[in-house]
Chain A
Amino acid sequence: MDQSKIRNFCIVAHIDHGKSTLADRIIQMTGTLTDREMQAQVLDNMDLERERGITIKSQAVRVIYKADDGNEYIFNLIDTPGHVDFNYEVSRSLAACDGAILVVDAAQGIEAQTLANVYLALDHDLDVIPVINKVDLPSADPDRVIEEIEDVIGLEAVDAPQISAKTGLNVHDVLEAIVNKLPAPAGDPKAPLQALIFDSLYDSYRGVIVFCRIKEGTLKAGDQVKMMATGASFDVVEVGYFGAGQFIPCDELPAGMVGYMTASIKNVRDTRVGDTITHANNPAKEPLPGYKKVNPMVYCGVYPADGAKYPDLRDALEKLQLNDAALQFEPETSIALGFGFRCGFLGLLHLEIIQERLEREYNLDLVTTAPSVVYRVHKTDGTMLELTNPSNLPDPSEIDYMEEPIVEAEIMVTSEFIGAIMDLCQERRGQYISMEYMEETRALIKYTLPLNEIIYDFFDALKSRSRGYASFDYEMKGYMKSSLVKLDILINREEVDALSFIVFEGTAYERGRKMCEKLKEEIPRHLFEIPIQAAIGSKVIARETVKAMRKDVLAKCYGGDITRKKKLLEKQKEGKKRMRQVGNVEIPQSAFMSVLKLDED
C-alpha cells in the first residue's frame, strides 16, 4: 500500500460533543459496514461505554475511503476518551496518529476538555482540523464557534466543515478534509523496526493482542520480535488490522500502518503500553519516546465481597492493567475486610469505571473503601512517607508535618452561575487564581484546590450548582503543607480500619458528624443498641446510635407450607452473609463507600 494513501487520525472533543457519533458516521459512509451491520456507536463496544455514552478505552478501526480524486485511501481511525480522567488514554492514542479532527459543538462552543485535548494533540505535533458539529440544532451558532476556535485556540476555522454527525449532513466534507489536510505517515518500511504499543487486550485463545503503530520498518508474521523496555522476546503469530469490531489478519504491517500483532503472549506484564517493538536480530538503535507516564492520584481499597474470590480479583486486576497502565494495585489487608488490594486511579470516574468493569466483566462482587489521595507525611526523624492508605498514618508524635496534593482547576461556566461556583470552590478550600471571560456570557474560572476536596463529590456538586452547565478540568500542581487529621470511626466501640479517612482539620467535625449520620442510615438495626462514633485520636467528636430492633416476628399462617417459612429465614441469613462482621455488628458493604455521599442532601 502506498504510504501517501494512509491517514492515521483520531477525533478529539469535549464529552458529549459528538465524537463517537462522528466516528460511527465515518465508518458507515466509508462503506466498510452495511447499514444492517451498523449498530449505534460501533466503536464504544463495551456495554459500560454504551450505557454511559462515553468512551473509556481507545479503540481503533481501519476503513477504506474512495475520495473525490478517484483514489482509495486507508483511514485508521483511533477513538479517544473524552473525560479528563482519561487524558492518559488520549495521550497514548495520539501517539499512534498523524492528525486529529477536533469536534466542537455548534451550540456549546469550546469547553474545558476541548482545550485540554487540543493542547494534548498539539503537544504530539498532530495537525488538527476543526469540525463544527450539531449545526442542525436550533441553538447552533456556528459563526460564534468559528470565532471562538480562532480566538481561543488559534486554529483557522473559516473552512471548518459544518456538519451534523447525527444526520450525516456534510460529513463528506470531513472525509475530504482528512484526505487533503491531514498528512500521510512518514517512515521507511526497510528501516529497523520501531513499533509503538498503544494498547492491548487479552484474549483467552490468542493471548495478549498488542495494538501498535509502525513508525519505522515492517512487521510480519513469523518475525522474532523484542520488547525494548521489558526485554521479552516473542515469535509473531499473526499481524493484521482493525475491522469494525473484529481483527482482520494480513501479511505485513509496513511503516505508517496501525494494526495489531499476536505472539502467544501469556504474561500480560511483558507488553507494556508505550513500549517499542523491534526485531530481535536487527534491533532499532533506540526505543521511540514513550509518552508521559501518569501517576495515580486517587487510591482506594478494593476487596472481594467473598474472601475466597481474592485470587480472581487479582487475576482480573492484572488483565485490566494490561491495557490500562494507569491502574496500579498492590495487596493489602484490613481487619474489617480481609484480603484485598490498594488500587491507584487517575480520578474518581476512572475508579468507578474500573470497579464496574470488575463487577460486570469479571463477575466480582466488590467492597471498596473511601478513596484517598496520596499524602506526604514528613516525620520528625526527617524521613518522608507517601501515604496511600489512611490506616498507615504514623502516630501523631512521629509526624512533623503533612502535605496534601493540590490541583489547578479550570471551570468553564455561564455567567449566571459564577457566584455559585466560586462559593463551592471557597467551601472546598479553593484559592482563587483568575477569571477570564471567553465571551460575554461565559467565563473560565481558575482555582487552586486540594485534590482531596474534589475526589469525593465535587463533580456532582458542580453540576448541581450550575444546573449542569459547568465543565471542569484539572491538572496536578504539586503539594501544599496542610493541617490534616485522621478521622476514625468506631462501631460498637470498635475501630473499623476500612472506614478511617484523612481530613482537613477545619472540616473534621462536620465530616465526622455527617459520617455518623450516614452510617446510622446504612447499618441495619441489630438485636442490641449500636453506638457509632467518629474520633480523632482518642477524642470522640460525633456520635449516633442505631437503636436495637424490637420486633421481627413472622406471625403469619402458612398452613403446612414450611418451605415458604424456611425461604424467608434463608433470605434473612443470606442477607447477613452479604454483610461484613466487625465485632458482633454486621455492616453492609455499601457503608464502606458512604463517605462519598456525605453531601448528597
Chain B
Amino acid sequence: MSGIELYIHIPFCVKKCLYCDFLSGVFDEKMQRRYVAALCNEISFVGKKHRGQNVISIYIGGGTPSWLSEDLMDAIMTSVKESFSLDPLAEISVECNPGTLSSEKLNLYRSIGINRLSIGLQSANDDELKELGRIHNYNRFLHTYDLVRKAGFDNVNIDIMTGLPHQTIEKLDHTLKSITMLRPEHISAYSLIIEKGTPFYEKYRFDAVKQEAGMPTEVLPTDEESYRLYKYTMEFLESKGFKRYEISNYARPGKECRHNIGYWDRVPYLGLGLGSAGLYDNKRTSNTRDIYKYIEISEEIAKGNLPESELSSPYYESEEALSRNDAMSEFMFLGLRKIAGIRRSDFVQMFGIDIEAIYGPVITALRNQGLMDAAEGRLFLTDLGIDVSNQVLAQFLLD
C-alpha cells in the first residue's frame, strides 16, 4: 500500500513521569485548546501541500493524547479528514493512559475512525508504578482496559517496561502473566533508559553508569540481570503466541503496528504538532519544540501571513536532506530492527546497486560472527545479533 503516514503530537500530561524525557508537560485546558487550534491550522496548512496523497496510517502520540477532551480529539480528526485523503483502511492509533478514558470518549473515538489504542501500562506491580511516577495503579488499568474492550476496540497494544529499579524475574513474570491473560493484540516491551534531564537521571545516573560497565549496581538491575529480564520477556511472550517482529514489539499474527513498520521501512511520514519528526522527499524534518513559537506560527498563518523561513515549512526547526549514503545507512539500521530483516531486492530497487557492493565485507564479517543470517533473499539479524544490535547496526553507518 503506497502512501504517506501522519504522526500527530500531543504534548500534554496529567503529570510527568519520573523517567520521561519526551516532549510533554502539564498544561491547563486553556493552553490545550490554544494548542489544538494551532495544530488544526498546521494540519490544514500542510494538507494543502499533500492533496491527493493517500494517508495510510495516523499515530496520535504524546504526552497523553487520551487526556484531551472529546471535542478536541474530534476537532483534530475532523481537520485531518478535511485536509488529507484518508485511506478507508487506514490504521489510526491513539496513545492512552489508564484513568484518562471514559466510555463516552471511547465511543467518540470509534465514531471518528480511531481503530487502534495503545495503553501505557508499564508494569502490573503497584510498587513499580509508584516508583516510575505513574498516575495509575494496576486496578485502574484493568478498569480502563475493560472500557476499551467494551467499546469494541479490537486492536489494542499494552506498553510494558523492563530493567526497572529493583525489578526481578518474579516481578516481571507477574507483569507478563497479568497482561497476556488479557489477550491484547500487541505488546511493546521497552527497556528503561536513564535519560538526562529527568528526575531518574539525578537519582540513578551513577547506577546507570555502573550498569553499563557491568559492575554491581545498587537499585537498577545489573547488566547481567537486565539481559536476563530482556531474554525472559522475549521467551515468555513468544511462548504465549506473540510474535516478535521488531526489537521491542510483539504482536499476534496480522496485528503488527503498520505505522511503526512504516518507520523501519522508511515509508514517508509527516510530523504534525510540537517537535514532531518527519521523513518526506528524502528529508528528515523536525518541528519547533517551543510551544509558544509553534502557536505563534499557526496564528500568523491563520491571519494569512506566512512567516519567513529558510526551511520548507515555517514550523520546522531543522531539515536535513539525506545523502545517498545516509539513505542507505538508514535503510540498513532501520530495516534490520525488524526480525524479518530486509530484502536484497528492495535495496537494489531503492538504490540501483547490489547490497553486497556497498556492505559486502560488513555482511560477511557479521555472518561469520553469527550475528547475521540470510535466507530467501532476505538479510536479518540472528538472536545473538539482536542482543547486541547497537554494535551491529552501527557498522552499517556510511560516512
Complex CA gap A559/B277 in Å reads 9
Report B370 CB to chain A, min CB distance, Å: 9
Complex CA gap A550/B229 in Å reads 13
B365-399: which residues lie under 8 A (CB-CB) from chain A?
A: 369, 371, 386-391, 393-395, 397
B330 contacts the other chain (CB 8 A):
yes
Complex CA gap A576/B162 in Å reads 28
Report A533 CB to chain B, min CB distance, Å: 21
Complex CA gap A559/B21 in Å reads 13
| Across-interface contacts of A36 in B (CB, < 8 A) | none
Q: A550-B388, A563-B277 are in contact. Are A569 and B269 (CB under 8 A)?
A: no
Nearest CB in chain B to that of A576: its residue: B394
Closest 9 CB pairs of A and B: A555-B248, A551-B227, A572-B394, A555-B191, A552-B390, A569-B394, A573-B394, A552-B388, A561-B277
Report A322 CB to chain B, min CB distance, Å: 37
Nearest CB in chain A to that of B371: its residue: A527
A101-153: which residues lie under 8 A (CB-CB) from chain B?
A: none
Complex CA gap A551/B212 in Å reads 10
| Across-interface contacts of B109 in A (CB, < 8 A) | none
User: Do residues A569 and B333 form an inter-chain contact, with CB atoms below 8 A?
Assistant: yes
User: Do residues B330 and A560 form an inter-chain contact, with CB atoms below 8 A?
Assistant: no
User: Do residues B284 and A527 form an inter-chain contact, with CB atoms below 8 A?
Assistant: no
User: Do residues B388 and A557 form an inter-chain contact, with CB atoms below 8 A?
Assistant: no
User: Do residues A553 and B386 form an inter-chain contact, with CB atoms below 8 A?
Assistant: yes
User: Do residues B226 and A551 form an inter-chain contact, with CB atoms below 8 A?
Assistant: yes
Complex CA gap A180/B334 in Å reads 82
If A552-B389, A559-B276 are given as contacts, then 20 extra A-B residue pairs at C-beta distance below 8 Å, sorted by A number, are A527-B369, A528-B369, A551-B230, A552-B388, A552-B391, A554-B390, A557-B248, A559-B61, A559-B277, A560-B7, A560-B269, A560-B271, A560-B279, A562-B263, A562-B330, A563-B286, A566-B333, A568-B390, A569-B390, A576-B394
What are 7 A-B residue pairs whose CB atoms fall within 8 Å in the complex? A553-B247, A555-B162, A562-B284, A562-B334, A569-B393, A569-B394, A569-B397
Taking chain B's interface residues, is the majority helix, strand, or loop, or is none over half, making it mixed?
Answer: mixed
| Across-interface contacts of B263 in A (CB, < 8 A) | 560, 562
Report A553 CB to chain B, min CB distance, Å: 5
User: Do residues B248 and A556 form an inter-chain contact, with CB atoms below 8 A?
Assistant: yes
B299 contacts the other chain (CB 8 A):
no
B190 contacts the other chain (CB 8 A):
yes
Report A552 CB to chain B, min CB distance, Å: 4
User: Do residues B369 and A554 form an inter-chain contact, with CB atoms below 8 A?
Assistant: no
Nearest CB in chain A to that of B223: its residue: A551
Give the size range of A's interface with the partner. Answer: 20 to 34
User: Do residues B277 and A553 form an inter-chain contact, with CB atoms below 8 A?
Assistant: no
Q: A527-B391, A549-B388, A553-B387 are in contact. Are A566 and B191 (CB under 8 A)?
A: no
Nearest CB in chain A to that of B395: its residue: A573
Q: A551-B388, A569-B394 are in contact. Are A560 and B277 (CB under 8 A)?
A: yes
Complex CA gap A528/B391 in Å reads 12
Complex CA gap A496/B278 in Å reads 47
Report B361 CB to chain A, min CB distance, Å: 13
| Across-interface contacts of A554 in B (CB, < 8 A) | 247, 389-390
A525 contacts the other chain (CB 8 A):
yes
Complex CA gap A572/B247 in Å reads 18
Nearest CB in chain B to that of A528: its residue: B369
| Across-interface contacts of A570 in B (CB, < 8 A) | 394, 397
Complex CA gap A549/B394 in Å reads 15
Complex CA gap A557/B122 in Å reads 13
| Across-interface contacts of A566 in B (CB, < 8 A) | 329-330, 333, 397
| Across-interface contacts of B277 in A (CB, < 8 A) | 559-563
Binding site for A on B (CB under 8 A): 7, 59, 61, 159, 162, 188-191, 193, 214, 223-224, 226-227, 230, 247-248, 263, 269, 271, 276-279, 284, 286, 320, 329-330, 333-334, 369, 371, 386-391, 393-395, 397
User: Do residues A562 and B279 form an inter-chain contact, with CB atoms below 8 A?
Assistant: yes
Binding site for B on A (CB under 8 A): 525, 527-528, 549-557, 559-563, 565-566, 568-570, 572-573, 576
Nearest CB in chain B to that of A575: its residue: B394
| Across-interface contacts of A527 in B (CB, < 8 A) | 369, 371, 388, 391
Complex CA gap A565/B393 in Å reads 11
Complex CA gap A168/B24 in Å reads 60
Report A498 CB to chain B, min CB distance, Å: 25
Report B277 CB to chain A, min CB distance, Å: 5
| Across-interface contacts of B388 in A (CB, < 8 A) | 527, 549-553
| Across-interface contacts of A569 in B (CB, < 8 A) | 333, 390, 393-394, 397
| Across-interface contacts of B193 in A (CB, < 8 A) | 556
Complex CA gap A562/B278 in Å reads 9
Contact partner of A560 among B276, B386, B393, CB < 8 A?
B276
| Across-interface contacts of A559 in B (CB, < 8 A) | 7, 59, 61, 276-277
User: Do residues A556 and B190 form an inter-chain contact, with CB atoms below 8 A?
Assistant: yes
Report A559 CB to chain B, min CB distance, Å: 6
Contact partner of A555 among B189, B269, B320, B369, CB < 8 A?
B189
Nearest CB in chain A to that of B9: its residue: A559
Q: A557-B188, A559-B7, A562-B284 are in contact. Are A549 and B330 (CB under 8 A)?
A: no
Report B59 CB to chain A, min CB distance, Å: 8
| Across-interface contacts of B284 in A (CB, < 8 A) | 562-563
Complex CA gap A52/B230 in Å reads 48
User: Do residues A560 and B369 form an inter-chain contact, with CB atoms below 8 A?
Assistant: no
Complex CA gap A553/B334 in Å reads 13
| Across-interface contacts of A525 in B (CB, < 8 A) | 214
User: Do residues B391 and A549 form an inter-chain contact, with CB atoms below 8 A?
Assistant: yes
| Across-interface contacts of B61 in A (CB, < 8 A) | 559
Nearest CB in chain A to that of B392: its residue: A527
| Across-interface contacts of A561 in B (CB, < 8 A) | 277, 286
| Across-interface contacts of B226 in A (CB, < 8 A) | 551
Nearest CB in chain A to that of B262: its residue: A560
Report B202 CB to chain A, min CB distance, Å: 19
Report B93 CB to chain A, min CB distance, Å: 11
| Across-interface contacts of B247 in A (CB, < 8 A) | 553-555
Nearest CB in chain B to that of A563: its residue: B284
| Across-interface contacts of B276 in A (CB, < 8 A) | 559-560
| Across-interface contacts of A528 in B (CB, < 8 A) | 369
Complex CA gap A525/B162 in Å reads 23
Nearest CB in chain A to that of B246: its residue: A555
| Across-interface contacts of B223 in A (CB, < 8 A) | 551
| Across-interface contacts of B214 in A (CB, < 8 A) | 525
Complex CA gap A561/B289 in Å reads 13
| Across-interface contacts of B190 in A (CB, < 8 A) | 555-557
User: Do residues A560 and B278 form an inter-chain contact, with CB atoms below 8 A?
Assistant: yes
| Across-interface contacts of B371 in A (CB, < 8 A) | 527
Complex CA gap A559/B23 in Å reads 11
| Across-interface contacts of A572 in B (CB, < 8 A) | 390-391, 394
User: Do residues A555 and B393 form an inter-chain contact, with CB atoms below 8 A?
Assistant: no
Contact partner of B230 among A555, A560, A573, A576, CB < 8 A?
A555
User: Do residues B369 and A553 form an inter-chain contact, with CB atoms below 8 A?
Assistant: no
Complex CA gap A550/B388 in Å reads 6
| Across-interface contacts of B279 in A (CB, < 8 A) | 560, 562
Report B324 CB to chain A, min CB distance, Å: 16
| Across-interface contacts of A573 in B (CB, < 8 A) | 394-395, 397
User: Do residues B191 and A556 form an inter-chain contact, with CB atoms below 8 A?
Assistant: yes
The winner among A555, A557, A561, A569 for most chain B CB atoms within 10 A is: A555
| Across-interface contacts of B59 in A (CB, < 8 A) | 559
Complex CA gap A561/B278 in Å reads 8
Report B50 CB to chain A, min CB distance, Å: 16
Nearest CB in chain B to that of A551: its residue: B227
